[in-house]
């Protein structure tokens, strides 16, 4: 039972700054669960709580960071395992899926979003030649001397017109406010307004300018702009800031699909309701990205690479905190997986370095996946996958089991039936208690 309080502002601040903007940790279809799955998670939490001793933790921000890192890595590991059939099905299940590939992931990303059950010619390919990306509208303000006072104290406003609506922004300039102070005020005002715009400060040493940009890209034929900033009463102040002038108009992407020219308002779009493309960069002249379906051996090998990456990221968390907040339990459990399966992993091209990290010999892995003894190869991969699945379930249920703590009282083994502590459920479910409560 956990007897500790956590400062939610510190915890949530670390969570958002470390993982909030990372697309790799955004929601996936595996984050939606059936009632039976949620019930199973709850039952695991209760079982863990009933048999856990009462203990005390010396709370520090590092303890919270450690617990969050474990939670996130365990969640990532579980999702990877689920993509490969979960803990019950073998990795052979990925052979029943259609997955797309791009010959140039740096320029064109792709994901197959079509019907998995449809009869599709998986040998078909097409080319994408990217000439230019879709860009947002940017209004770059005038460079102002940071510590100067070009705007007098007072109350000011400006109007914002977007494709979705019109808004009025009001701000105050106090005595002593510098140009940089005013730019930061307006930047915060725009960034917290949820109007589809972002604002930033461009630094020129002694000078700085306020930059306003649209989140949306591209410009349709009946639009002159994505947003317009104007002011009546505060026209002089707006002119001083310079954010009413469009410096970079929004532009559509230009690309060639099998040699035919196309344009798109966004860099993300779908082809034939089957391939979701993400344009990331332009391609070299005469070297278009080739889009098609992955071969079975490639899908298996890619899945193994994902498992290894997940293992290494979990191991890195244990190594990061082993001399501070961790009780070394996490590190021992993870390394034990690699050590106990060392022979099986080596047979499929996976080796361990001096730090315990796993690395993949892609040629050896490809040979094993496409070799004569594929049944044994799949067996070895499934053993590794199942071990990671068990570790992910255990770690996500109770990440605090790996934190250094002082045991206060053990459960009575002869009590017949121990009861869970109701308020101790929150740490296991990811809820946090504020120190001020």
Give domain status of residue 326, yes or no.
yes
Q: In degrees rounded to 5, what are phi and psi of residue 351? A: -125, 165
268 and 130 in a single domain? The answer is: yes
184 and 173 in a single domain? The answer is: yes
237 and 314 in a single domain? The answer is: no
Sheet holding 54-56, edge to edge: 2-3, 54-56, 406-409
Q: What residues make up the domain containing 150?
A: 136-241
358 and 327 in a single domain? The answer is: yes
Give domain status of residue 81, yes or no.
yes
pTM (2 decimals)?
0.65
The answer for residues whose C-beta is within 8 angstroms of residue 267's C-beta and 6 or more apart is: 133, 134, 217, 253, 278, 279, 280
Instruction: Determine the 3-state secondary structure of 281 from DSSP.
Output: coil
Give domain status of residue 437, yes or no.
no
Give domain status of residue 234, yes or no.
yes
Q: How far apart are CA 220 and CA 226, in angstroms?
A: 9
Give domain status of residue 112, yes or no.
yes
Instruction: Determine the 3-state secondary structure of 176 from DSSP.
Output: coil
129 and 276 in a single domain? The answer is: yes
Local confidence pLDDT in tens for the 437 residues of the chain = 343 344 555 555 666 666 665 555 555 666 666 777 777 777 777 777 676 677 777 767 777 788 788 888 888 888 888 878 776 677 777 776 788 999 999 999 999 888 877 777 778 899 999 999 999 999 999 999 999 999 999 999 999 999 888 999 999 999 999 999 999 999 999 999 889 999 999 999 999 999 999 999 999 988 999 999 999 889 999 999 999 999 999 999 999 999 999 999 999 999 988 899 999 999 999 999 999 988 878 888 888 999 999 999 989 988 888 776 556 788 888 899 999 999 999 999 999 988 889 999 989 998 888 877 888 988 999 999 999 998 888 888 777 777 777 777 666 666 556 666 544 544 444 444 333 33
88 and 104 in a single domain? The answer is: no
110 and 188 in a single domain? The answer is: no
130 and 140 in a single domain? The answer is: no
Q: How far apart are CA 71 and CA 333, in angstroms?
A: 15
- Token readout for 276 is 């979701």
Q: In degrees rounded to 5, what are phi and psi of residue 180? A: -65, -40
Q: How far apart are CA 229 and CA 214, in angstroms?
A: 12
29 and 46 in a single domain? The answer is: yes
- Token readout for 35 is 């009632």
**Among residues 117, 109, 4, 113, which one has the least CA distance to residue 63?**
4
Total domains, the chain: 3
The C-alpha torsion from 380 through 381 and 384 to 387, rounded to 10°, is -100
Token match 């669960």: residue? 33
144 and 124 in a single domain? The answer is: no
How many Cβ atoms sit within 10 Å of the Cβ of residue 166? 10
Q: What is the CATH number of the domain that holds 168?
A: 2.60.40
Q: Are 85 and 94 in contact (CB under 8 A)?
A: yes
19 and 80 in a single domain? The answer is: yes
175 and 195 in a single domain? The answer is: yes
Give domain status of residue 49, yes or no.
yes
């Amino acid at each position: 039972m956990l007897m500790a309080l956590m400062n939610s502002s510190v915890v949530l601040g670390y969570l958002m700054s470390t993982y909030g903007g990372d697309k790799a940790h955004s929601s996936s279809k595996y984050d939606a669960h059936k009632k039976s799955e949620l019930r199973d998670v709850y039952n695991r939490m209760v079982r863990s709580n009933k048999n856990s001793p009462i203990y005390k933790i010396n709370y520090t921000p590092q303890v919270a960071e450690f617990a969050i890192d474990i939670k996130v890595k365990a969640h990532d590991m579980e999702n990877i395992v689920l993509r490969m059939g979960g803990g019950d099905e073998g990795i052979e299940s990925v052979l029943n899926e259609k997955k797309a590939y791009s010959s140039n992931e740096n320029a064109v990303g792709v994901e197959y979003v079509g019907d998995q059950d449809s009869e599709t010619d998986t040998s078909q390919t097409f080319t994408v030649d990217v000439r230019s990306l879709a860009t947002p509208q940017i209004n770059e303000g005038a460079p102002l001397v940071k510590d100067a006072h070009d705007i007098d104290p007072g109350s000011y406003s400006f109007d914002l017109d977007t494709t979705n609506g019109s808004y009025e922004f009001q701000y105050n300039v106090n005595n002593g406010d510098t140009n940089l102070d005013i730019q930061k005020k307006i930047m915060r005002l725009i960034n917290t307004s949820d109007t589809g715009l972002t604002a930033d400060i461009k630094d020129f040493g002694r000078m700085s300018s306020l930059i306003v940009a649209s989140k949306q890209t591209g410009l349709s034929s009946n639009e002159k702009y994505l947003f317009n900033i104007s002011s009546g009463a505060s026209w002089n102040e707006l002119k001083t800031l310079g954010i009413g002038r469009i410096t970079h108009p929004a532009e559509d992407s230009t690309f060639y699909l099998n040699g035919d020219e196309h344009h798109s308002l966004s860099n993300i779009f779908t082809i034939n309701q089957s391939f979701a493309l993400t344009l990331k960069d332009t391609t070299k002249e005469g070297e278009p990205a080739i889009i098609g379906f992955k071969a079975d051996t490639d899908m298996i090998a890619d899945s193994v690479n994902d498992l290894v990456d997940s293992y290494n990221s979990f191991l890195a968390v244990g190594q990061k905190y082993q001399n501070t907040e961790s009780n070394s339990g996490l590190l021992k459990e993870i390394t034990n997986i690699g050590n106990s399966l060392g022979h099986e992993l080596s047979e499929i091209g996976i080796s361990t370095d001096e730090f315990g990290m796993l690395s993949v010999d892609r040629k050896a892995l490809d040979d094993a996946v496409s070799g004569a003894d594929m049944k044994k190869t799949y067996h070895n991969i499934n053993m590794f996958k199942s071990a990671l699945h068990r570790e992910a379930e255990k770690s996500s249920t109770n990440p605090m089991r790996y934190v250094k703590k002082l045991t206060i009282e053990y459960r009575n083994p002869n009590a017949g039936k121990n009861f869970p502590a109701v308020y101790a459920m929150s740490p296991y479910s990811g809820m946090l208690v504020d120190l001020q409560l």
